[in-house]
């Protein structure tokens, strides 16, 4: 008699975010995707076929969201230093961000590593007297490249 097959399907709510080797808590991570940009090319005289030539990769912005904190942490300071005032020399500090999907033992199943990242937008959720929602801040991050590590 064979043993039952165990399934280990990852769940989307068990993840971690690390910025420059420091863990930062977020309630949501979005924008982990990339696409191949292509250029259409019609063959001379052939109006029925179109060929697509690869041009390069395009990346979405990484969006990190969390309940707004009452005190300023290192992550908020980094965002505020970058976005809070008029642009000045060396105001953009590039950092590496790791987003890991975790298993039931808190070990990474896969990790997405975003290289040379920096914040480009900060926003708050709406204030609404008719709802009892938590105020959420969202930070949009640009990065130069990313790669996937793990199974």
Residues 6+ apart with CB under 8 A from 52: 38, 39, 40, 41
Q: How far is CA 97 from the centre of its chain?
A: 8
The predicted pLDDT at position 11 comes to 82
Provide the whole-model pTM.
0.82
**All structural domains of the chain with their residue ranges:** 15-38+50-149
Architecture of the domain made up of 15-38+50-149: Roll (2.30)
| Mean pLDDT score, 21-28 | 92
Q: What is the mean pLDDT of the chain?
A: 88
Give the Å distances, CA to CA, from 49 to 38, 43, 44, 63.
15, 7, 10, 38
pLDDT 10s digits, 49-78: 888 999 988 899 999 999 987 677 888 888
Tokens 């199974």 found at: 151
The predicted pLDDT at position 15 comes to 92
Angle at 138 between CA 132 and CA 141, to 5 degrees: 170
């Amino acid at each position: 008699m064979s043993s039952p097959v165990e399934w280990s399907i990852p769940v989307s709510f068990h993840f971690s975010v690390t910025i420059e080797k420091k863990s930062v808590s977020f309630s949501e991570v979005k924008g982990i995707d990339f696409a191949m940009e292509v250029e259409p090319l019609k063959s001379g005289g052939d109006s029925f076929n179109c060929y697509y030539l690869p041009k390069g990769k395009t990346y979405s912005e990484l969006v990190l969201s969390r309940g707004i904190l009452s005190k300023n942490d290192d992550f908020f300071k980094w965002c505020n230093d970058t976005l809070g005032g008029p642009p000045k020399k060396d105001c953009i500090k590039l950092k590496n961000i790791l987003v890991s999907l975790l298993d039931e033992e808190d070990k990474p199943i896969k990790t997405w590593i975003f290289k040379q990242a920096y914040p480009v937008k900060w926003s708050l959720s709406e204030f609404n007297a008719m709802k009892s929602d938590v105020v959420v801040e969202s930070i949009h991050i640009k990065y130069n490249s990313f790669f996937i590590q793990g199974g």
